[in-house]
Structure 1
Amino acid sequence: MSDDIDSKALEGPHPSERPETSRRRNPQGIRIDPDAEAEPDTRQVVLSALVAHEPGVLANVASLFSRRQFNIESLTVGATTDENRARITLVIEEPDPGIEQAKKQLQKLVPVVSVTELPADATRRDLALIKVDGTHPDQVQSLAEMYGGQAVDAGQETVTVEITGSEQKIDAAIDAFERFGIVEIVRTGTAALTRGAERTAPNGPQIAEPESKEVPADD
């Protein structure tokens, strides 16, 4: 009787015939949920930081993003209406928690006055200089004009054109100029401002009102 029970208890599919689970195991033998392990969705955003216009600020910002391993797509810096302030524009691609962390860490830097995440409809422009073979200068100029650009240098061997616009427009222009043989390219990265009357940096310097000139009264 006991032999029959034991034989029935052993009945079932062979281990090799059992359906395999899609879950893997970590080194500790715990099953890993593929959905939980999947890479989080990222999005590209523009951060505008108003900073003190002093030596070392850009190096501090670059060092911060390098240590935190934030994915920087582009970084530009330039003057503002206040000679004591500069504007750093960063394009980063991170998951939402990473974006919030980047803003918080950037705001902690002493030279940083304010940090703003620009809306998706912000005005964004890049600039590219594209140097190509100069065998067909007239055709190069015509193509540059199609993209709203112009030739800024022309010689016997090469022609350099300037293109400004969105990142997508410049990418398309570079693809088009490949037919002439691209010698070299340089791009500035993104510069961006909010649209309309909204200030890009809410805590930024206000534009000074023009001083009114007193007109002397007639004697």
Structure 2
Amino acid sequence: MSDEGAQPRSDGHERNDGPPGPAPSDRPHPESRRTTDGIRIDPVVEAEHDRRRAVVSALVEHEPGVLARVSGLVSRRQFNIESLTVGPTTVAGHARITMVVEETDPGVDQLKKQLRKLPVVIAAGEIAGETVSRELVLVKVRGDEPERVHAITEMYDGETIAADPQTITVELTGDESRVDAAIDAYRQFGIVEIARTGQTALARGDVPTTPGEAPAPGCEAARREASDQASRDTASGERQSEGNGPTDAGGDSPRTATTERTGRTEKHGQPPAE
């Protein structure tokens, strides 16, 4: 190959092949981190923010593989999930996934946006306002002091579900703080094993638990709240698009995500946001 027209590179060597342009070392590189799968992490999410605990509810199609798709999204995007529960709802073919996350505000927003992009997700959002939350725990302790174990169980409104000379297994339900306190009380006897279900939650009153979820027939207040929440989500996405550019970490514009979400809402018989 002829050396005619060869151009010097920034490191002093000549480039003899390839089209004209900057050397690889001179090309700009995104400063944000990437996950182990090569997915770029949004620098806005990566910036220093205070973490907070949030409860995110997702209404999904109740079909095989749904939980794997949601958990795969959580794993790829490296969201910090404290607990996850799933179960059917009153609507045939629908299931509710409840996630407790320890994330920054941008992280919570990013999780909601990414969930809404999944075709199996009907609606997703943070449970706002007053909620009712519970979780169940099974605690197996040593059986050396059955009377004292029984006293602690009664104090926390629990139930002994199995007992033998070696161990005692009790069942308790309550909010997270009550379950944590009960576990601490059992430590004096020697805890052998613990199994916790994770937190599940519902919004109080006639407000839908999942923003955008279709309310029960006749629930006008819930229907208005669902419509208002969808409008707020759309407005928030448009403002973020104007302030942060046309794309988010997933590569789609907030407006596109909103349009896709509206399309899914229409598909499942719910009115789109005005």
TM-score past 0.5 threshold? yes
Structure 2: which 5+ residue stretches go unaligned? 1-45, 219-274
The whole-number CA distance in structure 1 between the counterparts of 2:145 and 2:49 is: 48
Q: Secondary structure at the match of 1:104?
A: helix
Q: Hey, what does 1:73 align to over in structure 2?
A: 82
The count of aligned residue pairs is 172
- Which runs of structure 1 show a deviation greater than 6 angstroms over 4 or more consecutive aligned residues? none
Query: What's the C-alpha RMSD, in Å, of the aligned pairs?
Result: 1.8
Residue identity (%): 55
| Structure whose alpha-carbon radius of gyration is higher | 1
Q: Normalising to structure 1: TM-score of the pair?
A: 0.74
Q: How does 1:29-68 map to 2 (within 5 A)?
A: 39-68=48-77
Q: Hey, what does 2:114 align to over in structure 1?
A: 105
Q: Normalising to structure 2: TM-score of the pair?
A: 0.60
Q: Hey, what does 2:213 align to over in structure 1?
A: 203
- Deviation larger for 193-202 or 89-98: 193-202
8 Å Cα contact 1:43/1:93 also seen in 2? yes
- Say yes or no: does 1:131 pair with 2:163: no
Q: Hey, what does 1:176 align to over in structure 2?
A: 185
Q: How does 1:118-197 map to 2 (within 5 A)?
A: 118-197=127-206
The whole-number CA distance in structure 2 between the counterparts of 1:96 and 1:78 is: 27
8 Å Cα contact 1:119/1:194 also seen in 2? yes
- Greater share of strand residues, 1 or 2? 1
With a CA cutoff of 8 Å and minimum separation of 6, indicate the structure with the bigger relative contact order.
1
TM-aligned CA distance change 1:139 to 1:56, over 3 Å = same
TM-aligned CA distance change 1:85 to 1:205, over 3 Å = farther
Structure 1: which 5+ residue stretches go unaligned? 1-36, 209-219
- Greater share of helix residues, 1 or 2? 2
Counterpart of 2:68 in structure 1: which amino acid?
Answer: A
After superposition, what is the alpha-carbon deviation per residue over 1:198-219, rounded to whole angstroms, capped at 9, x for unaligned?
12134247379xxxxxxxxxxx
